[in-house]
Amino acid sequence: MTVYPIQASFTRGEIAPALHGRVDIEHYRLGLAKCENFYVLKQGGIRRRSGTVFVAEVKDSADKTMLFPFAFNETQAYAVEHGDAYCRFYALTGQVQSGGSPYEIVSPFALADIGSIDYTQSADVLYMAHGSYHPRELRRASETSWSFAEFDFQDGPYLEENTTSTTLTPAETGHITPLMTNNTAPSGTVSSSNGSGNAYLMFNRDKATAVQLETTASGWLKYQFAASAQKIADAYWLVSPKDTSVDFFTQWEFQGSNDGTNWVTLDSRDKESGWSFSEARYFEFENNNGYEYYRIKFSGGGGADALSTGMGELAIHQKASDQTPFNLTASAVTGINNDTGFQASDVGRLIHLLGSDGKWRWAEITERTSTTVVKIRMHGHALPDTSPIVVWALGAWCDQAGWPHNVGFYQERLAFGRTDTQPRTAWLSKSLDFDNFGQSEPVEASDGMSITMTGGKLNAIAFIEESVDLAIGTNGSMRTLGPAATTEAFSSTNVQQRQQTTVGSASIKPVTIGNNLIYPGFHKSSLREFAYSFEANGYLSPELTVLSSHAFKAGISFMAYQQFPESLIWCGLADGTLVATTYEKDQQVVGVTRHKIACGAAGDGVVESAVTVPVETGDRLWMIVKRTINGVTKRYVEYLADPFDGNAVDEGVFFDSSVTVTGSSMTSITGAGHLEGETVGILADGVDIGDATVSSGSFTLPGSVSADKVTYGLRYESYAKTLRAPQSGNRDGTALGRRMRIVSVALDLMETVYIKAGTVKKQFEYLFRQTTESLGSVPQQQSGVQKLSAEDNWGNGGVAVVRTDKGYPATIRALIAGIEGEP
């Protein structure tokens, strides 16, 4: 008796040999025993993958280089080749050129370190983190104008506050004015609209004063630098009067001038009422211009009778970049860099300083003089005085304490994670202020955050990735950082971290699909899905690829996600092969297939790096492939050609490391040196005409063929094998263990030009032509069911095989095998 079971879906892809006897589960009838160089369609069929397109050799094929994605939009998206201290760029289908040569910039990263770089992007800036380097920004101004810059982080983050007896004493304060002893001493000139001889008291560093500036509600206070000097101000504070002898003002403009006549308003305030006695209020503004004069022009003062207006103090901060660095002297080395004192590598490090007025300031070390003396510039606001500072904290990021290993975004904040000394800490910037990690007094919702993971399994952070919450992967668990109260926005006043699962991750950048995070398990031999479960009221991380665990046995090295058109998660393995997982959660599609990039005579190519960047037709997978060509190691930058989707046959690409050449009646091809000595397959005007060997960078089209369009490259085989048939017409149980054979194979095809199908013993060709067509004409694309007889042995278990290595497309929607079996 012959039966004709149909396999109408292949959505599980290639399933592990350990499951080849599980005919009782639904996954069995949706899987394959083997699937190479086909991938699973979301609709259930399998399609022959397109070939790769050769673009260029890397700068030095002796070096293992990496690719990084840089995507501003689908027309301004780049794959960045990062080698030993350099970067080159690829856009759309080619390499970016400048003056006829590859455009290249110098990179700060050494060859040995590029594989450990983490990255994230916002607009035209790629943020890059590595535990041994100051974080960098890769910025694009135009296609041929790129640059690296150190990430200029401000006001943090910091280590824990000093608890030792060591004090830090500043030689200066960062005030733009000296401590004035009268209106003209020690330098500069202080004046006010009422002509007071005591106007200088506003600059004498004594808050316990009440300085009358005007006998009406409006007026001004001015300071002029000596010798026509110009200095840059960017902040100030005002202290209200100590008593009722004068009344404060409530609105003002802070202004600068270079002639005392024409004034530029740098900051303005209104409705600053409700002052208490000797209250200080702090104000900051952006300014990059120096001025000879500064003044505060006020109104709304003098109380109800508007007769006496004044304040207690005005302190103006000189912009840090405009300051002359001054000494900061430690009383001992205790508490500084593990009691070793200041080091040369501390240059550039930040310091948090608590002034005698109870307000935190921050400074940057510009020079190291000794283990106890450094020079600094003050940022933000000036110190109130030069008294020893008892409470202070060193910056968390530096050569001594380490640099962040991880970087990402979450809720309009830039996040960093893990240093060598704080492996379980994550830092988030202020909201919409990516380089500022400062914290206000009192705390504001937009403040920066420093959060150390506590509770549960505590391991070093492996990655941080934005999802519904900020997902934090560690080697021993998955954790989240998000709002404590879900009804309110995430902020520094509404934050909670917690362990979600005890299934850890490898230190490999994951991919985000919708609200789900797909990450490699700690042992790099599986993919896991980190997703929120309403039933569990938390996150779960089940193994996504448990049915195909064998496919990842070599170990995952990197991941890339090709969202459109087929939602493919590409995993590069340690053996250089690729695994593609078709993932469509809503349709319960998780189809794993294996892919080997052709190398030619030397075997399979080794894919060492791959990224996806968007183009107008979808997401393009770029890769670096290592091959042995003519006995020499070569590394090529290539991309996976767009999937064949019913186009003209000659538009498909089904060779690896391929090149397409156009001309008129070409009989030979030159410029093929990248495949020197290799046998290449040839598609000429849409017809696979056979093979030729490249010699001296050229080859002749076989069969005396001439063509206007030629695509050539390395052949690769697409191969699929079904599982053993679970039924063969018997009525008393499974067919497993019984003799059976296939007598026919029918394929439901779509846009297929060539395929071989049959049994393990023998396959027959399908090459679709009309009877009126000549052998040299372009074959037809076939959609529909095609059937032929098969030759099989009784002991093959009803296994069917499909394969092709021709330069043609093939898509299989369903497979129907005619099976005879013993009763």
Residue identified by tokens 């092709």 is 804
DSSP letters spanning 246-303: SB--SEEEEEEESSSSS-EEEEEE-----PPTT-EEEEE------BSEEEEEEES-ST
CA 605, CA 597: separation in Å to the nearest integer?
5
**pTM score of the predicted model:** 0.93
Alpha-carbon separation of residue 381 from 233, 254, 281, 431, 554 (angstroms): 10, 16, 11, 21, 56
Burial (CB count <10 Å: 0-12, 13-18, 19+), residue 10: buried
CA 182, CA 281: separation in Å to the nearest integer?
25
- Mean per-residue pLDDT, 777-792: 88
CA 119, CA 474: separation in Å to the nearest integer?
17
Residues 6+ apart with CB under 8 A from 637: 55, 56, 57, 58, 67, 79, 81, 90, 95, 622, 623, 624
Number of H helices, E strands in the chain: 0, 69
Q: Which residue has the higher pLDDT, 597 or 769?
A: 597
Q: Report residue 769's pLDDT band, with 50, 70 and 90 as the boundaries.
A: low
Q: Report residue 552's pLDDT band, with 50, 70 and 90 as the boundaries.
A: very high
Work out the percent of the chain whose per-residue pLDDT is above 90. 87
440-468 pLDDT, tens digit per residue, is 888 999 999 999 998 777 799 999 999 99
Q: Report residue 512's pLDDT band, with 50, 70 and 90 as the boundaries.
A: very high
Tokens found for residue 372: 């106890």
Q: Report residue 727's pLDDT band, with 50, 70 and 90 as the boundaries.
A: low
Are the CB atoms for 365 and 400 separated by under 8 Å?
no
CA 814, CA 745: separation in Å to the nearest integer?
11
Alpha-carbon separation of residue 670 from 655, 667, 674, 700 (angstroms): 17, 10, 11, 9
Neighbours of 348 (CB within 10 A): 14
Reply yes or no: is the peptide bond before residue 186 cis, omega within 30 of 0. yes
Burial (CB count <10 Å: 0-12, 13-18, 19+), residue 504: buried
Q: Which of helix, strand or coil describes residue 155?
A: coil
pLDDT at 732: 61
pLDDT at 457: 76
pLDDT at 625: 98
Which of 288, 241, 37, 67 is CA-nearest to residue 802? 37
Are the CB atoms for 299 and 249 separated by under 8 Å?
yes
49-65 pLDDT, tens digit per residue, is 999 999 999 999 999 99
**DSSP-assigned beta bridge partners for residue 329:** 169, 373
Range from 11-25, 69-83, 302-316 carrying the lowest mean pLDDT: 302-316
Are the CB atoms for 36 and 595 separated by under 8 Å?
yes
Residue 476 confidence (pLDDT) above 60: yes
pLDDT at 160: 95
Are the CB atoms for 197 and 215 separated by under 8 Å?
no
Tokens found for residue 823: 């009763």
554-588 pLDDT, tens digit per residue, is 999 999 999 999 999 999 999 999 999 999 999 99
DSSP class of residue 185?
B
Which of 500, 522, 502, 520 is CA-nearest to residue 510? 520
- Mean per-residue pLDDT, 731-749: 82
Q: How many CA atoms lie within 13 A of 69 on its CB side?
A: 25
Position 721, amino acid:
K
Question: Chain-wide mean pLDDT for the chain?
Answer: 94
pLDDT at 560: 98
Helix (H) or strand (E) holding 782: strand 782-789
* Cα angle: 65, vertex 68, 69; to 5 degrees: 150
- Mean per-residue pLDDT, 148-168: 97
Which of 564, 452, 545 is CA-nearest to residue 497? 452
Residues 6+ apart with CB under 8 A from 545: 526, 527, 551, 552, 581, 590, 592
Residues 6+ apart with CB under 8 A from 629: 600, 602, 674, 675, 676, 677, 678
311-363 pLDDT, tens digit per residue, is 999 999 999 999 999 999 999 999 999 999 999 999 999 999 999 999 999 99
Tokens found for residue 169: 């004493």
- Mean per-residue pLDDT, 292-318: 91
664-669-670-673 Cα dihedral, nearest 10 degrees: 150
536-548 pLDDT, tens digit per residue, is 999 999 999 999 9
Q: Which of helix, strand or coil describes residue 8?
A: coil
CA 552, CA 572: separation in Å to the nearest integer?
9
Reply yes or no: is the peptide bond before residue 442 cis, omega within 30 of 0. yes
Tokens found for residue 492: 């520094």
Tokens found for residue 330: 């430690």
Which of 779, 782, 813, 819 is CA-nearest to residue 797? 819
